[in-house]
Amino acid sequence: MYIEKVKNEMNLPETVKIFDTTLRDGEQTPGVAMTVDEKIRIAKKLDELGVNVIEAGFPVSSSGEVEAAGEILKMGLNAHICGLARPLKGDLDAAIDADVDYIHTFIGTSPLHREFKLKMSKEEILSKSVDAVEYIKDHGIIAEFSAEDSTRTELDYLKEIYNAVEDAGVDCINVPDTVGVMVPTSMNWLIRELKSELKVPISVHCHNDFGLAVANSLASVEAGADQVHATINGLGERAGNASLEEVVMALITQYDLKMNIKTEGLVNLSEFVSRITGVKMPPNKAIVGENAFAHEAGIHVHGVLAKAETYEPITPEMVGHTRRIVLGKHTGANAIKAKLKEYGIDLDKNQFDKVFNQVKALGDKGKCVTDADLRAIAESILGRAKEEIVKLEGFSVMTGNSVLPTATVKLSINGESKTAAKTGVGPVDAAINAIQRAVSETGDIELQEYNIEAITGGTNALAEVFVIMGDKEGNKATGRSTTEDIVMASVEAVLDAINKILILR
Ligand SMILES: CC(=O)SCCNC(=O)CCNC(=O)[C@H](O)C(C)(C)COP(=O)(O)OP(=O)(O)OC[C@H]1O[C@@H](n2cnc3c(N)ncnc32)[C@H](O)[C@@H]1OP(=O)(O)O
Ligand SMILES: CC(C)C(=O)C(=O)O
């Protein structure tokens, strides 16, 4: 909305090309290495997504890189297939031999790179760059040139080298913020400065050392950059590169740019790359993270149920995601009502309050309530005895490997307090024995069947206990309870069944 107020100050291009470098800079993520087959599979999906260029690797660095680039080329994809090369004959020949139709050549231009790394003069670096571009163009291949560490390079030298490669016939110049030192305003200024100097399309390659890679890429586009280098999931050296999914979605939805990206494939590709690289996304990762369209807070869920846009800037379908309503500490009644409606569970006010209180109590204990948990809680409350003749006032169990499990229960039976203690083979058995003893004067009701099930995995899973109790007259009733404590669940289930039998009498 407010972007409209500043759009006329921007120098937005009609569209932005996406140069994907997941298979090259993304593979430079420490600990990540892809096989030829994995690169092929990712390249196919990147092409389906609609990226313009796929940087398949750095051919001179290994035979696997050459093979991957060659195999990707054989697939006849729509995207250009690019190989990275230093401006050295060996590197350029390796890329040419790999048959790529696009070569990205680079060399460090900042004083740090010149003096300490390359030990080359400005003139040497410039002449190598020009020679490389001419060599690439002589082979009829698209040439992109990067002045590595351009954002720490003197402006006059940066312009000089970019002008020289432009004169040599380069097709695109790339401005790498190699160690992510730019901020959006400085990046915007630099790209405007270069735009006024050069005729060739300008690309940017932003690293995320200060978490600004996406912001700097967008600031570059605002200044007129024609292409953005990005990686799926923001993979790349150190803190990574600009995340493709974030850049693309911001460009399309916030700047209203027309792009040829099938955005509904983004989540699938993110998960695919995550599985292949072993780099898991944090749940709060923008666009593709597990929580990107998940809502727990009651006020948010209420808003989303009324109109999703209240708390979702884009639809989950746009990126192939799904909306999730999560239950927990911050849940409100509207969320639970919506879920119960979805399951076709109809509760009266009293039953609903019990479900609501149990969800809140679990949340207060730091637990997340899954959909399966909610169903089990609701179903057990739904099936409860309508009247409580016997009520639990309290219980305690003592157990361990050197003591006889013993339980003490305090019940209110028809309003009268009754306490009983009993031992058992374990805490559950002891608790049930103690209840049976406490109610023995009211009626001899015995356990006939006991079943327990964990609703979801983990030691803190909700336990669902199902019992059948019976008396001497042949009355039988079932009891059910779902809580995170198996002894408590057992006690509640047994009392539920006892109450049902007592009502029958
Ligand atoms: C900012 C970036 O992301 S750039 C891309 C970085 N990616 C990679 O490095 C991954 C693949 N790299 C490799 O497989 C290897 O590093 C290779 C094959 C490229 C080079 O391997 P080696 O010859 O063993 O050299 P090594 O990696 O140890 O050192 C890099 C060499 O390249 C030189 N170099 C670095 N960039 C350039 C450049 N643009 N132009 C010319 N030389 C360069 C360095 O000065 C150094 O040369 P030296 O060995 O003569 O001192
Ligand atoms: C090769 C260049 C573009 C690079 O990866 C960088 O500078 O980060």
- pLDDT tens figures, 148-200: 999 999 999 999 999 999 999 999 999 999 999 999 999 999 999 999 999 99
Determine the residue of 27, 117, 209 to mutate for testing ligand 1's pocket, defined as the one with the most ligand atoms within 8 A of the Cβ atom: 117
Å from CA of 231 to ligand 2 middle: 12
* Phi and psi angles of residue 406, each rounded to the nearest 5 degrees, phi first: -135, 135
Please count the other Cβ atoms lying within 10 Å of the Cβ belonging to residue 307.
Answer: 9
Find out whether the beta carbon of 380 lies less than 6 Å from any atom of ligand 1. no
Q: Please give the CATH topology (third level) of the domain spanning 298-381.
A: Recoverin; domain 1 (1.10.238)
* Phi and psi angles of residue 181, each rounded to the nearest 5 degrees, phi first: -90, -5
Nearest CA to ligand 2 atom 8: 178
pLDDT, mean of residues 61-86: 96
What Cα–Cα distance (Å) separates residue 355 from each residue in 28, 127, 287, 340, 384?
A: 50, 75, 33, 10, 12
CA nearest neighbour of 263 among 319, 224, 219, 317: 319
| Residues 6 or more apart in contact with residue 63 via CB below 8 angstroms | none
Q: Which residues line ligand 2 (CB under 6 A)?
A: 25, 106, 146, 148, 174, 176, 178, 205, 207
Q: Mean pLDDT in the chain? A: 95
pLDDT of residue 463: 87
Residue 242, SS3 per DSSP: coil
- Concatenate the DSSP letters of all residues of 334-351 into one string: HHHHHHHHHHT----HHH
77: which DSSP letter? -
pLDDT, mean of residues 246-254: 98
CATH architecture under which domain 16-277 falls: Alpha-Beta Barrel (3.20)
Residue 408, SS3 per DSSP: strand
Domain 384-504 has CATH 3.30.70.250: no
Q: Torsion over CA of 318, 319, 325 and 331, rounded to 10 degrees?
A: -100
What six digits make up the tokens of 354? 């019990």
Question: Which atom in ligand 1 lies closest to the alpha carbon of residue 119?
Answer: 45
pLDDT-derived band at 373, boundaries 50, 70, 90: confident
ipTM above 0.95, yes or no: yes
Could you tell me where in the chain the CATH 3.30.160.270 domains are found? Answer: 384-504
The answer, yes or no, to whether residue 397 has pLDDT greater than 90, is yes
Find out whether the beta carbon of 58 lies less than 6 Å from any atom of ligand 1. yes
The answer, yes or no, to whether residue 455 has pLDDT greater than 80, is no
pLDDT of residue 457: 67
Find out whether the beta carbon of 89 lies less than 6 Å from any atom of ligand 1. no
pLDDT-derived band at 371, boundaries 50, 70, 90: confident
469 CA to centre of own chain: 47
Q: Which ligand sits closest to the CA of 147?
A: 2
Amino acid making up residue 181: V
Highest mean pLDDT among 345-349, 362-366, 481-485: 345-349
For the ranges 59-68, 156-165, 440-449, the lowest mean pLDDT is seen at 440-449
Find out whether the beta carbon of 20 lies less than 6 Å from any atom of ligand 1. no
pLDDT-derived band at 372, boundaries 50, 70, 90: confident
The answer, yes or no, to whether residue 472 has pLDDT greater than 80, is yes
Name the percent of the chain lying above pLDDT 70.
Answer: 99
Question: Which atom in ligand 2 lies closest to the alpha carbon of residue 150?
Answer: 7
pLDDT, mean of residues 234-258: 98
pLDDT of residue 367: 76
DSSP H stretches of helix in 383-421: none
Nearest CA to ligand 2 atom 6: 178
For the ranges 9-13, 198-202, 207-211, 365-369, the lowest mean pLDDT is seen at 365-369
Å from CA of 2 to ligand 2 middle: 34
pLDDT of residue 138: 98
pLDDT in tens, 32-49: 999 999 999 999 999 999
Alpha-carbon Rg for the chain, nearest whole angstrom, is 33
Å from CA of 80 to ligand 1 middle: 24
What Cα–Cα distance (Å) separates residue 269 from each residue in 56, 244, 276, 288, 347?
A: 16, 11, 10, 9, 42
| Residues 6 or more apart in contact with residue 403 via CB below 8 angstroms | none
Could you tell me where in the chain the CATH 1.10.238 domains are found? Answer: 298-381
Q: What is the distance between the alpha carbons of residues 257 and 238, in angstroms, rounded to a whole number? A: 30
